[in-house]
A and B are shown apart, each in its own frame.
Chain A
Amino acid sequence: MASGVGETLARPDLLRNLVWAELTARYKTTAFGVLWFIINPLLMMGILVVIFGRFVNLEIPNYPVFVLAALLPWTFFSMGITNCATSLSRAAGLVKRVRIPRAFVPLSALMAGLVHFLISLLMLFVLMAITRVRISPLIIFLPLVLVLQFAFLTGAGLLVASLNVLYRDVEHVLVPGLQAMFYFSPIFYPISYVPKVWLRWYLLNPMAGIIELYRNTLVAGWPASTMVAEMALATSVITLLAGLLVFRRLEPHFDDYI
């Protein structure tokens, strides 16, 4: 029943098949398949560009690219967490009837999301090519940022997935919670707009730092700061540890509640 790393390594084929099921089932049930992962952030980008590029003129150069570079990792995060929250109760057949590492259920949802995210990143590069925005030389650090976000996402995903089994309240808290995190992340405004005295508190939101790091590594002209990187690393690692711990504690009781 352990959800340890050992068992994950022992059954890689199960995880692979679960991710594959998650991916293919989506393409077979929707007409546009992966396009939804591209259309959603594009729509959002359109809205933000009209409001903050035209109505409230923030005067940020290449605003569409600026916004999209942040919206894509945000979409990866918010869709992943929403998926994780209900993943175990949706997989009741697995949880109640077979013995598998139960962490595979939220984890496979996140890994399918990762595939979609990587595809949607291609769209950003297309937009950058069209609008002639240069790629940041820091792009070599992009894989590190990705690993960091996935670590945070795993922690947060395991947390909401396991807590939601015991208290379905979690999935209701999620909507306003994600909304607050969206506004308290440098998505449609640069992090430099955040007052210096607030910055440390602001960066307690792991997604704030992670999104800033994505923008630093993707788009030229947005230099990185070590303080942002440090805070993103610290908060993500803490979330990951908390997620692993809570999931391990609650995992033996899942079948009593689903």
Chain B
Amino acid sequence: MTTSRPSDDLVVVEGVSKSYRVRSLQRQAMVENLLRWALGLDVRRQEIHALRDVSFRLSRGESLGIVGVNGSGKSTLLKIVAGIATPSSGTVELRARVSTQLALGAGFHPYLTGRENIFLQGSILGMTNREIRELMPTIIAFAGLEDAVDRQLWTYSLGMTARLGFAVAAHVPFELLLLDEALGAGDQAFRDRCTQRLESFRASGATMIIVSHGSENLRALCDRVMWMDHGEIRALGPTAEILDRYEDSVEGGGPGTNRGAQVRQGSKS
């Protein structure tokens, strides 16, 4: 995919790593570190490496699945692509208006009315007030909140609030959709509806990144799948092939047992 014309790449991730310092441990080691620093020794840092040297490209119209066990760095990578988290090193180029599931209802204010919240939320997601004003009737109708839109948000039921959040997000123009299956709740019927909606998105040529524990949905939705393991790309390739290998590994004794020839292995320190 790296051979495609550069203008077609919506996302270019190059050598991205992310590490967090563990501060409680750092405080305990403060005196020791001061001494080490004074003596010219290496300062001991307690760090968690969430991502190590991740690189990939995504071109327009392509959809990428990311699988891996808990703590493999999938969600961190998604946040970095979305521009919410900052990589410790490496670069992310984003040439698309992004819509993320994380943003649903972020910034909703309980004491503002539904209408005021639509303005606030719409501008948080990048729309101008003029654009929002034009879309207002559509958004209200989509959410089915004609009667409640001028009431304060705290009077809404959970379902009404969720509908409002979704209605705003669904009307913001975007080119790249970032989804995290771990966040998606709801019953089977709702999930089926979501899958259907995603398939129609895909048919219309939308670009997507979907993070998952490894669900069958990915087979229908994704062109390529990336397998994350301990913050590194373990494998990246055609959906069926990677998912088969990943599932074998998860079922047979956990990740790390299945190491194919094409699997990229990074050093683990």
Contacts and interface: CB of A to CB of B under 8 A. Distances in A.
Interface in A192-211: none
Interface stretch (A22-30, A72-80, A149-157, A238-246): A22-30
Interface in A1-56: 1, 11, 13-14, 16-18, 20-21, 24-25, 28-29
Given A14-B124, A97-B103, A25 B111 contact: yes
Contact of B124 (A16, A96, A100): A100
| Size bin of chain B's contact surface | 20 to 34
A94 B20 contact: no
A256 interface: yes
B20 A99 contact: no
Given A18-B120, A97-B84, A255-B84, A25 B107 contact: no
B89 interface: no
A105 to B, nearest CB: 10
Interface string B104-139: 001111011000100110011111110000000000
Given A96-B84, A98-B103, A13 B120 contact: no
A13 B107 contact: no
A93 B106 contact: yes
B109 A21 contact: yes
B82 interface: yes
A28 B111 contact: yes
Contact of B84 (A11, A18, A91, A99): A99
Interface of B: 20, 79, 82-86, 98, 100, 102-103, 106-109, 111-112, 116, 119-120, 123-129, 152
7 A-B pairs with the lowest CB-CB distances in the bound complex, closest first? A252-B86, A97-B106, A14-B123, A99-B83, A25-B111, A13-B129, A97-B102
22 contacts: A13-B127, A13-B128, A14-B124, A16-B123, A17-B119, A17-B120, A17-B129, A20-B120, A21-B109, A24-B111, A28-B112, A93-B107, A93-B108, A94-B106, A96-B84, A97-B100, A98-B103, A98-B107, A98-B124, A99-B82, A255-B86, A256-B85
Given A21-B109, A98-B107, 18 more contacts: A1-B86, A13-B123, A17-B120, A17-B129, A21-B112, A24-B111, A97-B84, A97-B100, A97-B102, A97-B103, A97-B106, A98-B103, A99-B82, A99-B83, A100-B124, A252-B86, A255-B84, A256-B85
